[in-house]
Structure 1
Amino acid sequence: MRETPSHPIRFLLSDMDGTLLLPDHSLSQCTVEAVRALREAGVLFSLATGRPPRAMLQTIEALGVDLPTAAFNGGTIVHPDGSLLVAHYLPVTAALTSLALFADQPDVEVWVFSGGDWLVKDPSGPMVPREQHGLGYPPVVVDSFEPFLACIDKIVATSNNTALLVELEAQLLAKVEGQAQVSRSQPVYLDVTAMQANKGDALATLAAFLGVPLEQTAAMGDGGNDPAMFQRAGLSIAMGQAEEAVKRQADAVTASNVEDGAARAIEQYILPR
């Protein structure tokens, strides 16, 4: 962990799943109240997630978020009215490489997000119900991902075989180095996005848009896609249930998401400043 800075925090960028949200994708009342207290104290607040913009709307409304939010790990940054601030698509070569690698894995389901849609080839895949519950809308079934190659926001390889996803992450990183970001947003999700689609760049873009120096920003998260913003933020906070590799890259570690860790972190590390 780095030495925790002492300057006041003016902007908090938070992950959603595993951080603000409970395992059933709901918000606890403690979290809602902590975010309200944050905003009443004049601290700006927004969201950065691997989810598509459409799957953020319920949380945005519940928390009263009125700033641009970062979807697809920062690949798309959207104003409250739905207009785009930033959009980065996965290069076609990286998309083809990723799809070819994942296609050879019988234990892996492959999904593509493009044009606001969640695209699948097999709607009966075992991971589909979990994703549909989390997103709040069903997939679009396609015969091929090829027609969408020019405008892919994110490719996801998902499996309950988490060891396999760790192995695939290492393999794919070597194949698309310099072309794409590869990270596990959750243990069962391996995300592939454009190089610029990372939460670190998203934090920097949002901070610049809001006129807040990076040293006066904070970032909070639990997944393998969150250290990118930890490295840019003035204060970084990892959730208690995060993997050790994620915790080691944060300035502070709070309780888990089922123990209201986000609310505790806001109260302990940000509001007193």
Structure 2
Amino acid sequence: MTGATQQPIRFLLSDMDGTLLLPDHTLSQRTIAAVRSLREAGVLFSLATGRPPKAMLQQIEALGVDVPTAAFNGGTIVNPDGSLLVAHYLPATAALTTLAQFADLPDIEVWVFSGGDWLLKDAYGPMVPREQHGLGYPPVVVESFEPYLERIDKIVAASNNTGLLIELEAQLLPKVEGQAQVSRSQPVYLDVTAMQANKGAALATLAEYLGVALEQTAALGDGGNDPAMFHCAGLSIAMGQAEEAVKRQADVVTGANTEDGAAQAIERYILPRHPT
């Protein structure tokens, strides 16, 4: 976050769930039109999400994204043709610590993402239908996560008990300090990824790749994993429904995702800065 710079914005990096997407995981026509207006103005646009790469394909196509995108909170950066530009895996020691912390807790579902697959032990957990709807593909049921320890992209604790996830975050952080990032991407998800897997590093990597100075970048998001890119961007924008701790770390706040807040942000804060 660099304050009230008025430089033209040449690159916008946006979160997806809770930001670009409506609660039913769809894109509004206003949002699609706003992103189209960015492209017409010569502003580059990409996505940074906690989702796996293949759970972004529909949105990439709908929005016409033609530059690399960041999945797994920046742990994986993927070229438009699907090839990997960057991949950071969770260290096995941190994965074991995390899985031990999450094991056998009531109200907690544990998911592991590896090699493009969504792995879990219980296919009938109450959070599974929501995730499957959002991702667009089903999970793979496994007896153990151990065979995947060397190539884990992300571990998620999922629960409708937000207070419990906040407690878990506080308990886990000191145990994996220096080894892993721990953040709530949404109130119901606690994500654990590699140290290098954060949206701030993703923004810096993408900006350098695209030849854009950080002062001419903008970041848009709503979750606990988004301030990392807020602090790197020339302009940071929080969604209206974001938690107060997230809003405080942004330069400006736009409307909620139910109010086309992403489109509002593009129309109000980005397009007017771009020379016509």
Asked if these proteins are the same fold (TM beyond 0.5), I'd say yes
1:104 shift after superposition: 3.5
Task: Give secondary structure in 1 for the equivalent of 2:112.
Answer: strand
In structure 2, distance between residues paired with 1:194 and 1:165: 19
Question: Matches of residues 110-189 of structure 1 in structure 2 within 5 Å?
Answer: 110-189=110-189
1:57 corresponds in structure 2 to 57
Matched-pair contact (CA < 8 Å) for 2:239–2:261: yes
Hey, what's the Cα distance between the residues in 1 that align with 2:214 and 2:192? 26
Alpha-carbon shift at residue 107 of structure 1 (Å): 1.1
Instruction: Note the C-alpha offset of 1:105.
Output: 1.0
SS in 1 for 2:18: coil
Root-mean-square deviation over aligned CA pairs: 0.7
- In 2, the alpha carbon distance for the partners of 1:17 and 1:107 equals 22
- Structure 2: state its 5+ residue gaps: none
**Which position in structure 2 is the counterpart of 1:48?**
48
Retained in 1: the 8 A contact 2:3–2:234? Answer: no
CA contact (8 A) 1:48 1:199 kept: yes
1:196 matched to 2:196? The reply is: yes
Conservation of the 8 A alpha-carbon contact between 2:36 and 2:63: yes
The one-letter amino acid of 1:212's match is: V
- The separation in 1 between residues aligned to 2:32 and 2:260, in whole angstroms, is 10
Counterpart residue number, 1:235: 235
Q: Which amino acid aligns with 2:200?
A: G
Aligned residue number for residue 4 of structure 1: 4
The whole-number CA distance in structure 2 between the counterparts of 1:172 and 1:211 is 37
Partner of 2:86: 86
Q: Mapping of 1:99-110 within 5 angstroms?
A: 99-110=99-110
Are the equivalent residues in 2 in contact too, given 1:155–1:191 (CA < 8 A)?
yes
Distance in structure 2 (CA, Å) of the matches to 1:113 and 1:4: 38
CA distance, structure 2, for counterparts of residue 142 and residue 34 of structure 1: 42
Rounded Cα–Cα distance in structure 2 between residues aligned with 1:40 and 1:8: 15
Distance in 2, Cα, partners of 1:272 & 1:107 = 46
Q: CA deviation at 1:2?
A: 5.9
Q: Secondary structure at the match of 2:184?
A: strand
Residue 2 of structure 1 contacts residue 250 of structure 1 at CA under 8 Å; is this kept in 2? Answer: no
| Distance (whole Å) between structure 1 residues aligned to residue 7 and residue 73 of structure 2 | 27
CA contact (8 A) 1:169 1:182 kept: yes
Q: Secondary structure at the match of 1:272?
A: helix
Secondary structure of the residue aligned to 1:191 is: strand
Paired residue type of 2:243? E
Q: Distance in 2 between matches of 1:102 and 1:135?
A: 22
Q: Is the 8 A contact 2:3 2:235 kept in 1?
A: no
Q: Secondary structure at the match of 2:111?
A: strand
Write the distance in 2 (CA, Å) between the matches of 1:218 and 1:231.
10
Give the equivalent residue in structure 2 for 1:244: 244
Unpaired runs of at least 5, structure 1: none
4+ runs deviating over 4 angstroms: none
1:272 aligned partner, one-letter code: P
TM superposition shift of 1:134: 0.2
* Aligned equivalent of 1:224: 224
TM-score, normalised relative to structure 2 = 0.98
Identity %: 84
TM-score if structure 1 supplies the norm length? Answer: 0.99
